[in-house]
Structure 1
Amino acid sequence: MPFVTIDGQPLHYIDQGTGPAVLLAGSYLWDQAMWAPQIAALSQQYRVIALDLWGHGESGPLPAGTASLDDVARQALALLDHLDIARVTLIGLSVGGMWGVRLALSAPQRLNGLVLMDTYVGVEPEPTRQYYFSLFKMIEETGVIAPQLLDIVVPIFFRPGIDPQSALYQDFRAKLAALPPQRLRESIVPMGRITFGRDDLLPRLGELDAASTLVICGDQDKPRPPSEAREMAELIGCECVLVPEAGHISNLENPGFVTGELLKFIAARNH
């Protein structure tokens, strides 16, 4: 299990395969295991790095002084430096895309390509932001994601028609229910506030290289709907692909489709 100490805390990542490097950056409340189908496929021809966000998976707590998604982007660059990776294709889903754009804007010379999945870099709509912040306050006060809160939070990540008895749904619910109070208060809640309190990067999307950027979104993504994906793709000037029969964690709801799109994109960036 490789770790690197960044800003005084252990960041956990996996590093599998050889070839041009691909960095997988996942969703809030999920660890690197969410990329299992993509890691298995991509690592056949590429060096695949997948990291655990602070307080998620095996990573240590959110480092003191981490105040914004720009800090998270800087920490990811420190990981690439540690691994001696000069250039990478960055695939960021949800918060991974939010800080991925910041990495792309601050260090464009480090990227071969950028895939923004089920994400949005505008500000969080105010009613949604206030709603999420009220949930964070409840979690902080109780030190647990209570069952009635799980009933609200878990469905957000999936397409409306998913079977709530499916392993994908139940495993995620069980993981959230098991999060210890200290981890919730020290890392998960602050990371949530950083994510949903982010500043607006829409005006800067035109600075990205359209030819090496792709936007992907589940066609039934509720928290980050296709309208947001299309808006970003238009501002960037790049293609927008909708994943059929998929919600927010589109890479797990329709893994075959997503993996196919990623393989095509990465091959074109690394020819």
Structure 2
Amino acid sequence: MPVAVIDGQPLHYLDLGNGPAVLLGSSYLWDRDMWAPQIEALSQQYRVLVPELWGHGESGPLPASTRSLDDLARQALALLDQLEIAQVNLVGLSVGGMWGARLALQAPGRVNSLVLMDTYLGAEPEATRQYYFSLFKMIEDTGAIPEPLLDVIAPIFFRPGIDRESALYQDYRRALQSFSRERLLHSIVPLGRLIFSRSDVLEQLPRLDADTTLVMCGEQDKPRPPAESDAMAKLIGCSLTLIPDAGHISSRENPDFVNEALLTFLANHA
């Protein structure tokens, strides 16, 4: 994978295909594999860019200067600047949508179209924020994701009825286990705290271009339920697409539906 040095740290990214640029922003606790079906489908006619989050995949540790989601948006812009890419079609899932929307608000001229998937631009509700912070404390105390915690964290990302013996689920569970102590303490936990302490930018959503924005959400997304996506789509004035048979990582749970929706949207807007 190519690498760009941003804020003093190596940011690894996938760069595949030719055509209009599509930037895929990933979920917390997932590497580029969460987009594997989309990378294959979109790279046939687009230039697909997938930066790895700090501490994820092959990227380096969270830079000390990273204090908010606005910093993640600024870092993504810095990557585009280094690659001399003037405009992108941005597809962000979960935290990828959180910083992706901020990027579109900061630099509207750089975003040709925007897809917000399984994400929320409001502040994290206090109850879930405190719950996630308690999980971070457990990880910090042990320097690992303990076995019992794997069975708490992994299901968050999938629809309730997923087969827990499936390759998708088991591969993800193993990926969580593979995080080193250093990555957990210096990147994963601090990044998680940053994400779940985010500011509320819902009041800014009407500034987004309704004609070039799409909101998508898995029908069975637990951490980011469809009601949140519906509220955001109404504020933006754009369409909402619910993804059947999918939870939070809808890109992997119903890839054919997601691919078709993205290809249709990009054909009209890229």
TM-score of Structure 1 vs Structure 2, range by shorter chain: over 0.9
**How far is 1:65 from its partner?**
1.4
5 Å matches for 1:162-241? 162-241=162-241
C-alpha distance in 1, partners of 2:58/2:167? 21
Deviations 1:201-248 (A, max 9, x none): 101000000000000000000000000000000000000000000000
TM score, norm. by length of structure 2: 0.99
Residue 121 of structure 1, CA deviation? 0.7
DSSP-derived class of the 1:30 partner? coil
5 Å matches for 1:80-91?
80-91=80-91
Number of equivalenced pairs: 270
Query: 1: CA distance between counterparts of 2:231 and 2:16?
Result: 34
Equivalent-residue separation in structure 2 for 1:51 and 1:266 (angstroms):
20
Counterpart residue number, 1:104: 104
Which consecutive unaligned segments of at least 5 residues does structure 1 have?
A: none
Superposed displacement of residue 33, structure 1? 1.5
- Deviations along 1:131-166, one digit per CA (max 9) or x if unpaired, are 000110110111000011111100000000100000
Give the whole-Å Cα distance in 1 for the aligned partners of 2:99 and 2:140: 24
Amino acid aligned to 1:59: S
Whole-Å Cα distance in 1 between the matches of residues 82 and 140 of structure 2? 34
Structure 2 partner of 1:28: 28
For the pair 1:53 / 2:88, whether they are aligned, the reply is no
Q: After TM superposition, list the pairs within 5 Å mapping 1:246-265 onto structure 2.
A: 246-265=246-265
Q: Name 2:157's counterpart in structure 1.
A: 157
Residues in 2 aligned to 1:181 and 1:245: alpha-carbon distance in whole angstroms: 34
> Is the partner of 1:90 in helix, strand or coil?
strand
Letter in 2 for 1:93: L
SS of 2:215 mapped into structure 1: strand
Q: Give 1:32 deviation, angstroms.
A: 1.1
| Structure 2 residue ranges without an equivalent (≥5) | none
The one-letter code sitting in structure 2 at the alignment partner of 1:47 is R
Identity of aligned residues (%): 68
Q: Which amino acid aligns with 1:247?
A: G
Aligned-CA RMSD value: 0.5
- TM-score (normalised: structure 1): 0.99
Q: For the residues of structure 2 that align with 1:59 and 1:167, how far apart are their CA atoms?
A: 25
